Structure formats: structure tokens, C-alpha cells
Amino acid sequence: MVGTGALAGCVGQRGETTEEGTDGQEPTEQSTEQPTEETDSVGFQKLWENDLEDANPSSSDDVQLAADEETAYLGTESELTALSLADGTEQWALSLDTPLDGMAIDDDGLFTLQTETVQAIDPDTGESRWTTTAANSESGSRVVTTDEHIAAGRNGGALVFGKASGQQTARLTGNYEDPVRAWNGQFVVAEESGVTAYDPDGTVQWTIEDVWLSWLTPVAGSTVVGSARIGSSSGTFVGIDLETGSQRWTTDVSTDIPYPTTAATDDTVFVYSGDDYADTFYALDVETGDTRWTVSGADFAPFPPVVLESAVVVDLDEGVQARDPRTGAQIASSDEFRSFIAATGSGRTMVMYGRNAVAYRL
């Protein structure tokens, strides 16, 4: 149900693709533009536009976005707003006393992390179901869910809560890049000396020693991919088999990737650094670690890759591009989206966020 999820290296010319390896509150007044219209973009159709009062955040760090099949949820330092994916009408808006640090949506609700507060929100009404204090003064940004629990990733670990009650069930150790992911009722954490899978009560299921990873991608199938911030001129991607609790493969790349944005489909992970260390977007086969395709010559990416129904949308120096997840073939492109710093999506609809919120259908 969720809209979106990042890697790097140096191959080819700017924009070149290569293939390798294997095959709430009362609603505020708003202006919405509902009729579908063609844009100058190739393959993108504009659906609607909403001039939100709280729009135009200063950077992507100030924005948290998520989407399900019917609604886009846009969170800033002061407000969380739900917009209809169909026509952009505001469903509800919730004022925030503290900045929104993390957010996740699933079939059971909307879950947020705000400084030291974790909250469960009814996605249809914006009403709080429960609020609990995350007894940890460290900052964090990751919220992930299983069928019955959520985990809020904090610097130095993750706190686990029951979905129905909000009662804390465990505190998991970890390193200081808050890398925690959820799979099959468990939480997988990259720690200082390895990777560990925990039950929601903190019981260890397995540990892989001597694999120091500073970040993890979303889970693809039964695989999670990570890498270490090693501060050198080269880096390594590591694939972790979550069913067996073993290291599945490693893939060396030419550039260290310290601060990536990530996304995933069932069989491919996408990693993009987009900083001074690297400028290559990677698509990796999760079974083998082979590079399916890359796009190089990119600049800093304002928003992470957005996985839609049949494409992954990436923001490159030359504009926004939609590409086939497996082959990298370009499906659509646009240079009109430069004012947007965040994006989410579901199905074939992508919502861009910056000075306002605009939806496009691919």
C-alpha cells in the first residue's frame, strides 16, 4: 500500500543508462484543479493541484510523505494533511506541536514519530487512536510496521510498540543511522557489529556477525540490502537473506555511498546517494546482487525514488524520469518538476510536494 523507498557509483555519461548482470482540524480553504490536462512532459498527465497553506518547506528533511490506494499524506514541521489521490481535495489536517520525524501507513492505520512521541492516527479522520512517549532523547526518522507492531527507529536503536495499545514492548539496540526494517513479524536492525533480527518482545532470532551496515533498503522479497559508510573511495553492497539469517551476496562499487535514499520492488532495490560522494543511481537484483541498470551523471536528488505500478520515478540533474524497474528503459520524462522537493505515490499516481501539492498520472 505504501508509495515509496535509495544507492550510488559512476558509470557512463550524464543521464546514460547501462545494463549489467542478469536479466484532525476543520479543512482549510483550498484551490484544486481537478480536470486532467496534458503537460509538456512526455508520459505524465497532470491530475490536480492544491495550494496548501503550509507548503514550501525549506528542504526535503522537513517533509514526510506516504500514500495508500486512495490518499496522500503530507507532513511538515507544523501540519499533517491528507489529500484525496483522485482529485486533491483535503480530507483532514492535523496541527503538530513538534516536527514530524517519521511516518508509515498500512492497512491498520497511520503511524507517526514526532521527537519523543509516537502516535497512531485514523487515516480516514485524522483522529488520534493513541499517543505514547518514546522514552529516548535521541533523534530518529524511521517508522516501520508488522501486522501487530510498529518500530520507531532512533539514533542508537529502535523502540517497538503494539499497534492496538501503543504499549512499548521492547527497545532494540542499533548503530547511529537508525537502520531498522520489518519483515515477517520481526524487526531487522543494523547494529555496530552485525545485523540482528528481533521478535517484537526483543528476543533475538538470529545475528550475522562482522557485517557493519550504516543503512538498510526496504525489504524486497525476503532480502534487505545495506552498506557501510566507510569513508573511502570504494563501497560494498551486502544482501541479507532474512529467511535464513545469512549473508546472501556482496557487490563492490567504485564509490562510497554514505547517505542514500532507497526504494524497492519485490525483486529489485534502488539506491541513490546524490551527494558529493557519488552521482550514480543503482538498480540491483536482490537474488544475486547483480546490477540490473544504472543512471549516472546525476546531481543532488530532492526526493527519493518513487515506486509506482509499473515504473520507478527518479529525480536526476536533467529532470524527473520514470523508468522500467527491471531494465531501466525510460518510460516518461519531465523538466517541469524542479520546484518540488518531495514526492510519494500509489498505483499510477505520483504526488509532488514543494510550494504546493501537484498530482500526475503516469
> Which positions ≥6 away from 146 have C-beta within 8 Å?
182, 183, 184, 185, 186, 187, 200
- Terminal alpha carbon distance of the chain: 17
Q: Give the torsion sign (CA, 354, 355, 357, 362).
A: negative
Q: Sheet harboring 90-95: ordered strands across?
A: 64-67, 71-75, 79-84, 90-95
> Contact at 8 Å (CB) between 270 and 312?
yes
Work out whether strand 168-173 and strand 79-84 pair parallel, antiparallel, or are unpaired.
unpaired
pLDDT at 278: 64
Alpha-carbon distance of 264 to 236, in angstroms, equals 18
Q: Where are the domains of the chain?
A: 17-361
Following DSSP, what letter does each residue of 257-291 receive, concatenated? --S-EEEE-SSEEEEE--BTTB--EEEEETTT--E
Q: Which of 273, 297, 267 is nearest to 215 (CA)?
A: 273
pLDDT at 56: 61
pLDDT at 12: 27
Is the pLDDT at 180 greater than 60? The verdict is yes
Mean pLDDT check: name the lowest of 31-40, 88-97, 105-114, 330-339. 31-40
Predicted confidence (pLDDT) per residue in 193-211, tens digit: 889 999 999 999 999 998 8
Q: Give the torsion sign (CA, 333, 337, 340, 345).
A: negative
Q: What is the mean pLDDT of residues 12-38?
A: 38
Q: Which of 179, 182, 173 is nearest to 104 (CA)?
A: 182
User: How many CB atoms neighbour CB 196 within 10 A?
Assistant: 21
> Contact at 8 Å (CB) between 358 and 327?
no
pLDDT at 228: 72
pLDDT band at 141 (very low <50, low <70, confident <90, very high): confident
Pick the CATH number of 17-361 from 3.40.50.720, 3.40.50.620, 3.40.1160.10, 2.130.10.10: 2.130.10.10
Predicted confidence (pLDDT) per residue in 307-329, tens digit: 999 899 988 877 889 999 999 99
Q: What is the mean pLDDT of residues 281-288?
A: 94
